[in-house]
Amino acid sequence: MQAAKEGVQETMEVSELEVLKEIRDALVAQRPAAAERAEAAAAATTACSAGALARTRVGRQAD
């Protein structure tokens, strides 16, 4: 009976480990996409700031 319990425990541990590996793989696969989104957001913010600065300069020149 004890051997059967140990076998079940080992099976559960292996199953849990496999699930954790799948979760890890999914998270690692998302990393490049998240980095690309962050870079795109930073570029968009820079472009908006540059546009606002250009509009401010044009407005000052008109005065």
Which pLDDT band, with edges at 50, 70 and 90, does 8 fall under? Answer: confident
pTM: 0.43
d(CA 40, CA 32): 12
pLDDT at 45: 79
Q: What average pLDDT does the chain have?
A: 77
Which one has a higher pLDDT value, 30 or 60? 30
The pair of structure tokens assigned to 7 is 């076998």
d(CA 38, CA 32): 10
59 CA to centre of own chain: 40
- Whether the predicted pLDDT of 53 surpasses 70: no
Four-point Cα dihedral 57, 61, 62, 63, nearest 10: 110
